[in-house]
Amino acid sequence: MREFRQQFPFFDTSTPSIYFDNAATTQKPQCVIDAIEHANIQQSANVHRSSYQLAASVTDAYEAARNNVAALINAPSARNIFWSKGATESLNLIAHGLGELCLAEHAMWQGDEIIILTSEHHANILPWQQLASKLSHFKSLRITPVSPDFNGNYDYAVLRAAITNNTAIVAVAHVSNALGCVHPVAAITQWAHQHNALCIVDGTQAIAHIPVDVQALHCDAYVGSSHKMFGPTGVGFGYATHALLDALPPYQVGGEMIEYVSFDEVRFQSYPLKFEAGTPNISGVLGMGMAANFVLQHQAMIIQSEHVLMQYLLGQLTVLNDELAVTTEIGLASTNNIIIIIGAQNPERISLCSFVLNGISHYDVLRLLDKDNIALRVGHHCAMPLMQHLGIDGTIRVSLCAYNTDTEIDGFIAALRSAIKRLVSSDDVIANSRAFDTSSVAFSASTPIGDQFAALQGYDVVFRQIMLSSKACPLLSEQYHTADYHVAGCEVDVWLGQFAGQFYGFANSKIIKGLLAILLEKANTLTPSQRTRFDFTEYLAQLGVSHHLSQSRVDGLSRVIARLSA
């Protein structure tokens, strides 16, 4: 395993010290980096256009990469693989093409319903929604989501029962990026086919973690992104059966996808080239081909290591949970399960664990973990409908890869423990927060909030003051936590309202609430015309709190500021 990790130069650098965001993108091994560099230096010629030696050899390499991806997913031939920008584009291409087949009343399209899972990535929701709206003048198409229970666990009998003769398409992820569960795609395909429906599979999160055999799955299409499987960004693939590829029309038109063009007639190439208009991402494809080889070569080890890592992580989370539950000194009731894993009962899972912390904003945890150089993702993970179904605004997602280590998990658990204690203790008297030197911090109800930052120095002290300030936020009552008062674009839900000239706000995150308290206090002392001229961003900078904002949170708060200044 150490040898495996050593192939990734990323780990030679120290920032971030722990990378647990592999579901967002994986690191690249040296062989992939070399392949991309080699492509850019020695293989810079266009493909499928010229027959001089260099161009021909690049075309050969480009097609060899197609073979590699076909081999990785056991496609019957490389012709079944088309290149794209990534899974998103592949899904858009397929949905668009299927829409055309529907309009043409092609025999492959039967029914008026598209079944998806509630936990699908937006990339496997939006193309179908758009399709339904595009076809609305022609056909009334229903998008039917099948949901897990309220803890994120699926009962596939519900999915099976939902598929009927009205079903045209079943579009599911092989592995959920938000829950980590592996859906039984072979069975789902069988259920779909029993009703003459097509089964389209989003394999983005599967390919680097479990063996994929599209022939055994019998699915009609399967898509993936290179950057989730050790390859470069901006490139991906789609697989489809010969019958589907033959039937699907081109997605874009232009160079290289034609056989003949005149002003009277156009004949397209056959697949896969008919889906590859324009000059492709050649170095990306070559890098992806290398990545596909890399996965195949290390697959057994990857699966074994990730299983062991995941068991270790789950074990350590349980230990931490038990420890926190009895730690009454940090103010938790002993019956509380503070760490709640979402979808823990799903029968098969990859090394991805999504959890929420009872009563603690995932966003506040992220800020503290980020300070410890731990990279992981919190939020809705591009699966907003799932979060709505679960009644939460996001999860903390740890997505492990075979190059991660037990030591990193230990480091993460230690940082999580410390973050939880710190966030919980900020509700209590300052003395509870022993681990941090916050002796200079206190909150005074009679002093303006902004003034209380004046003499503060250092991350911990300022952090603590922000947390204390959160209690002074003029709270927007719950009845106004509606779309009308929602501030779009923040990384956590923020609501803002103005009544009788005074602003009120709300956010679950204490950090955001603290920052709102600072901003609203100021805004509420200014006249409308003073507010439009006041530089709230500069004000936050002057108070020394700006570095407690991530870039995107600055963007988010800038929406709040825009409303205050309006």
Looking at 7, 167, 205, 346, which residue binds ligand PMP (CB under 6 A)? 205
Distance of alpha carbon 378 from alpha carbon 369, whole angstroms: 11
- Our finding on whether 508 is near ligand PMP (CB under 6 A) is no
Nearer to ligand PMP, 206 or 390 (CB): 206
- Our finding on whether 87 is near ligand PMP (CB under 6 A) is yes
Side-chain-side CA neighbours of 526 within 13 Å: the count stands at 18
Residues 199, 219, 382, 401: which is the catalytic one? 382
Residue 391 token pair? 């009644």
Binding mask 325-364 for ligand PMP (x = CB under 6 A): ----------------------------------------
> Rounded to 5 degrees, what are φ and ψ at 309?
-60, -40
Q: How far is the CB of 97 from ligand PMP (least distance, A)?
A: 17
User: How many residues contact ligand PMP, by CB under 6 A?
Assistant: 13
- Our finding on whether 173 is near ligand PMP (CB under 6 A) is yes
- 401 a catalytic residue: no
- Our finding on whether 378 is near ligand PMP (CB under 6 A) is no
> Rounded to 5 degrees, what are φ and ψ at 175?
-130, 135
Binding mask 430-469 for ligand PMP (x = CB under 6 A): ----------------------------------------
Q: How far is the CB of 376 from ligand PMP (least distance, A)?
A: 14
- Our finding on whether 202 is near ligand PMP (CB under 6 A) is yes
Looking at 80, 225, 395, 452, which residue binds ligand PMP (CB under 6 A)? 225
Distance of alpha carbon 94 from alpha carbon 375, whole angstroms: 33
The piece of 64-72, 202-210, 425-433, 543-551 that touches ligand PMP (CB under 6 A) is 202-210
Contact 179, 342 (CB under 8 A): yes
Cα 330–chain centre separation? 32
- Our finding on whether 394 is near ligand PMP (CB under 6 A) is no
Where are any strands of DSSP class E within 187-318? 198-202, 221-225, 236-240, 258-261, 266-268
Nearer to ligand PMP, 122 or 417 (CB): 122
Nearer to ligand PMP, 352 or 507 (CB): 352
> In which element (H, E) is residue 55 found?
helix 53-72
Inter-CA distances, 220 with 80, 146, 250, 265, Å: 11, 20, 17, 31
Looking at 59, 68, 88, 293, which residue binds ligand PMP (CB under 6 A)? 88
Contact 99, 253 (CB under 8 A): no
> Rounded to 5 degrees, what are φ and ψ at 222?
-150, 130
Distance of alpha carbon 70 from alpha carbon 78, whole angstroms: 5
Nearer to ligand PMP, 281 or 469 (CB): 281
What is the DSSP track for 269-301? --TTGGG--S---HHHHHHHHHHHHHHHHHHHH
Find, among 449, 451, 492, the residue nearest to 470 by Cα. Answer: 449
What residues line the site for ligand PMP (CB under 6 A)?
Answer: 86-88, 121, 123-124, 173, 177, 202, 204-205, 225, 382
Name the residues annotated as catalytic: 382
